[in-house]
Chains A and B, each alone.
Chain A
C-alpha cells in the first residue's frame, strides 16, 4: 500500500468531468456546496450540463427526477448527511419508486468531516438508503476506486448512492483497477478469519490483515464497496469456508455493511460475525483518526477482535 493519500471526493470531481465530456446527458445538480464536493471544474468546463439549485436539497432531488424523466443522467451532489437524510423521502418517492436514473453523489461520508462535528458526520446514510427498493449503495475505498465506481454508476441505469470521503485516505489501488457494481474485490485469500471492509476502513483493514498474517493468522480480506446489492456469494463463501467474519465500516454498526453481512450469515446460520464501526453514537469535533479510535475502528481493535474469535 502506498503512502500517498487522496480524498475520494477528488476522484469523483475528476471523473465526472471526463464522463460529462463524453456524454452530454450527464448533469451535475449542485446545492451550493459544489466547491467542497469538487464540482467546480465540471461547472466551468460543462456549464450547459450544470445546475445549482441553491441550498435546497429536497428540491434538488425533485429537479433531478424531472431531468431523468427527460433522458438526462443527473448527479445530485452534496454532503452525505444531507444527500441521504434531508432528501430521503424525495429519493424514495420521486427517484427510487419510479426507478429513475438519478445518482446521489456525496462527499463527507462517515466521520471524515471530522472537525465539522456531529451535524456533518454521516453515520446512518448507507443504512437508510439501502432499505429503499431499487437503490444501489456504494462507498469506494480509495481515489482510483472512486473514479471507476463513478463511471460504473453513470453506466448503470437506475438510482445509485455514492459516498466519498472529505479527508484524504491512503491510495490502495493502481489506476487500472477494475470494479463491478455488486461484486466485492478480494484483496487477500485466507482461511482463518474473513475481514470485510468498505470505504475508508479498507486501508485500516489491510494493515490489520498484515499484522495478523505476521502472527500466523490467515486472513481473507474483502473490499465490499457495494453494500447493496450485496455480493452475497462471497459473503456466503466466507460463512461456509471460514465461519468467522469481522466487518469494518465508517458507519453505524446498525444497518450498514455489518448488518448486511449478518443478514446473509443468519440466513445460512453458521457463522460468527463481529461488527466494527460507529457504536450507535454521535460524534464530535475531533480529528478523523481520533473519531475512528473512539469507536474502535482501529488496526489494534481489528487484530484483537480476530484473536479473540480464534481463541
Chain B
C-alpha cells in the first residue's frame, strides 16, 4: 500500500482515461465504455492499494489482479504502462499485429498480466485458485478480481463464488463494475439482476456497496477491507457509469466496443483536460 492522496489518485485516473481514449482512437478498435467505468478503482488498486513491483512482475509475493471482464484491458494497459511495466509508447500498439497488448489480456505476452482473460465469467475462478495458494502456503498476498455486472450472468461466476466461501478467502476482493449496460442494452432488461451485491452476500461474501466512480469511497472501502481478516471473501459492489468522464459516452451502450472518430476524440480529450484542470 502506498501513501497517495485522493486528489492525486483522481488526477492519475484522468490521465489513465486519456490514455484509454488515445489508445482506442489510434487502434480504431477496443472497448472504451467499460474501461472508463472501471477507471477509478483500477487507479486506486494500481497506484495505492496493491503490493506490486513493476521491476519484478512475477514476484511471488505480489498481489494479483484479474481482469475477468478482459475486454476493458485498455484501462489496465494504461495503468501498467504508467506504473512502468513497459514503455508508454507501447500503448500505441494496442490490438496491432505482434503487439504485447492483445485485444484481450495475454499473460504470456504482456508483463504484469497475472492471467489471460477475455471469455467472460472465467476470471473469478482463476482468482480463487490464486487465493487458495496464498492460504495453503501461508503467503499474505491478496487477489483483486474485476467482474462486470453483465458478466455475472455466467454461471461459472457463482461456482467460483461458492468456492471462495468454502476456502475462506478473505484475501479475495471482487469488484463488481455495476454500470448496468451490456452489448444488447440495459443489463436489467437483458437479464434482470435483482441485486447482484446481495447475491454475493448470499454466497457468503462481505459486501460493500459504493459509488464506484467516487475515489474517496473506493479508498475508504479498501482501507476498511484491508483490516478485515474474518475468513470471508469481499465484494465491492461498485455502482458506476459506463463511459464515465466523456459526456457523449456516458450511459450509452453503443460505446461498449466502438472507437471515437477524429472529432469525438478531440472532444473527449478536451473534456478530460477540463476535468483535470478543475481538480
Residues of A near any B CB (own CB < 8 A): 48, 51, 53-54, 56, 58-72, 74, 89-90, 93-94, 97-99
Contacts and interface: CB of A to CB of B under 8 A. Distances in A.
Interface string B120-144: 0111111111111110110000000
A69 B108 CA distance: 11
Given A68-B129, A69-B129, 17 more contacts: A54-B159, A54-B163, A56-B159, A58-B159, A59-B128, A59-B163, A63-B128, A63-B129, A63-B132, A64-B129, A65-B115, A65-B125, A66-B129, A66-B132, A66-B133, A70-B137, A94-B117
Contacts of A98: 106-108, 115-116
A70 B133 contact: yes
A43 B211 CA distance: 44
**Of A51, A66, A98, which is in contact with the most chain B CB atoms at under 10 Å from its CB?**
A66
Nearest to A72: B133
Given A66-B130, A67-B132, A70-B133, A59 B118 contact: no
Contact of A90 (B128, B156, B162, B167): B156
A90 B130 CA distance: 16
B130 A70 contact: yes
17 contacts: A54-B159, A58-B159, A59-B125, A62-B125, A62-B126, A63-B126, A65-B115, A66-B115, A66-B127, A66-B131, A69-B64, A69-B115, A69-B130, A93-B122, A94-B119, A98-B108, A98-B116
Given A93-B118, A93-B119, A56 B129 contact: no
Interface in B85-133: 106-108, 114-119, 121-133
A62 B116 contact: no
Nearest to A67: B129
Contacts of B125: 58-63, 65-66, 90, 94
A51 B132 contact: yes
Contacts of B64: 69
Nearest to B136: A48
B270 to A, nearest CB: 39
Contacts of B44: none
Nearest to B115: A69
A94 B114 contact: no
Contacts of B124: 62
A63 B125 CA distance: 5
A56 B163 CA distance: 9
B122 A62 contact: yes
Nearest to B134: A70
Given A56-B163, A58-B159, A89 B119 contact: yes
B42 interface: no
Nearest to A64: B129
Contacts of A70: 60, 129-130, 133-134, 137
Interface centre among A59, A67, A90, A97 (most CB of B within 10 A): A59
A89 B120 CA distance: 11
Contacts of B131: 66
B107 A69 contact: yes
A75 to B, nearest CB: 13
B102 to A, nearest CB: 10
A98 B109 CA distance: 9
Interface string B155-192: 11001101100110000000000000000000000000
A273 to B, nearest CB: 36
A209 B92 CA distance: 63
B96 to A, nearest CB: 19
A288 B124 CA distance: 40
In the A-B complex, the 4 residue pairs with the closest CB atoms: A66-B129, A62-B125, A59-B159, A56-B159
Contacts of B163: 53-54, 56, 59, 63
A279 B82 CA distance: 57
Contacts of A69: 64, 107, 114-115, 126, 129-130
Contacts of A71: 60, 133
Nearest to B107: A98
A59 B125 CA distance: 5
A61 B134 CA distance: 18
A112 B115 CA distance: 36
B91 to A, nearest CB: 22
A62 B132 CA distance: 12
Contact of B126 (A56, A72, A94, A97): A94
- Chain B CB count within 10 A is highest, among A63, A68, A93, A97, for A63
A53 B134 CA distance: 17
Q: Which of B107, B108, B129 has the most CB of A within 10 A?
A: B129
Contacts of A63: 125-126, 128-129, 132, 160, 163
B156 A59 contact: yes
Nearest to A53: B163
B128 A93 contact: no
With a 10 A CB-CB cut-off, give which of A58, A70, A72, A89 has the most chain B CB atoms: A70
Contacts of A68: 129
Given A90-B122, A93-B119, A98-B116, A62 B128 contact: yes
A65 B126 contact: yes
Contacts of A54: 159, 162-163, 166
